Amino acid sequence: MPPTKLVSTGAERQKAFRDRMTRMGMTIPRIYMTEGEQGQVREFLRHHRNERTDLLIGGMDLQAMSQKWTTQRLFDALQEHAGNQQQFSRVWLQATPASIELALAAYGDQPVHLVVTEYDIRMTTTLCDQRTVQDPLRFNEACLRLGPNMPLSNVGLVGSQYILFGQLSAHSPLANIVEELDVMGRNVIDAQAELAHLIG
């Protein structure tokens, strides 16, 4: 009897991501188009998705806070926001080390990790596992080229995980944090689509 092939954690994450996108009704279209046409399609999608972000933060206070966020205060604010909006399907507090975990409802429950320090708020979400990358040199170059087209997010490597990350001031108003989280959700979908041919 042939040995059973073990599925890597990275491959499981990629399958889970594709399944989430399918449940959202999102597919990778197979359409032949010129580079110029691809740029126009990207710009249209960016504009369309930006409108959703604008609706999320419409009416929210955009003034910088006099007090810095703490992990507990930000958790309480995000929980209250989740009760008023459908942006997050889950928000929970991790005790040790202190951090906030949440799932972006509009982006297939994409998980995001937040850490509040004395100076800033750091957000990260997993892009893919390093072991699933078929050609690391091409993948790294593609990530560098993708960077300028992803507002508010950067690509990094932590351990064996490629991540998207962003940072905000600890004085940032909740509206800016909500906006950053929504944009990060869009960016991870866009990055996955752009890099899919390099991920196994």
Concatenated DSSP letters of 169-180: ETT--HHHHHHH
Angle between helices 174-195 and 71-84 (to 10 degrees): 80
| Count of structural domains within the chain | 1
pLDDT digits (tens, 9 = 90+) for 152-195: 899 999 999 999 999 999 989 998 899 899 999 999 988 988 89
Cβ-in-10-Å burial (0-12, 13-18, 19+) of 170 comes to middle
124 lies in a domain? Answer: yes
Its domain, for residue 73, covers: 9-198
Cα–Cα dist 43/46, whole Å:
5
In terms of pLDDT, which residue wins out, 136 or 28? 136
4 lies in a domain? Answer: no
Residue 19 bridge partners (DSSP): none
Cα–Cα dist 106/82, whole Å:
12
Residue 123 bridge partners (DSSP): 114, 166
pLDDT at 84 over 80: yes
14 lies in a domain? Answer: yes
Q: What percent of the chain has pLDDT over 70?
A: 70
1 lies in a domain? Answer: no
Specify whether the CB–CB gap between 174 and 77 falls below 8 A. yes
2 lies in a domain? Answer: no
3 lies in a domain? Answer: no
| CATH number (domain holding residue 178) | 3.30.1460.10
Cα–Cα dist 168/117, whole Å:
10
